[in-house]
Structure 1
Amino acid sequence: MTMRPVPKPEAEFDWQPRDEAELAAFKAAVEEALADPRGIPHEEVVAWLNKIIAGDFDAPMPHPRLLE
């Protein structure tokens, strides 16, 4: 799925699907993601991103797991 640039830089999020097929693919991807019971705690994602920001481009991504 390709996203087009937003013409208004001040807009927070203004993505629109190009056609019905793209919208259907987007909805299917969201439904699949929401159906997956696994997740990664926000803190772990932030720590991983901070390693990347610091230049550790080989930092291992945290693995999704069942969360309680």
Structure 2
Amino acid sequence: MVIVRPPLGPSNDLTLDFAVIRVLARAAAGDVSHCDLKIHLPDERVLAGPLEDAPAAQDTFSVDPPPNWLRWE
């Protein structure tokens, strides 16, 4: 499991570099075929989803509503 704690933008948006997150996850956990991603927001809400379903590179997206590959926990 990978946990990130990014700042939330002024329009309830996030910018994450998923390529970097994948590299760091592989370095920490080895070459696993599945990795869960949890995004802990400053207001204590949590978004979660499979890292392999995330975009391939940096992406900016709204959390209201979140992309289809993420769900609220």
TM-score, normalising length from structure 1? 0.25
Structure with more of its chain in helix, by fraction: 1
Structure with more of its chain in strand, by fraction: 2
TM-score, normalising length from structure 2? 0.24
Greater relative contact order structure (CA < 8 Å, 6+ sep): 2
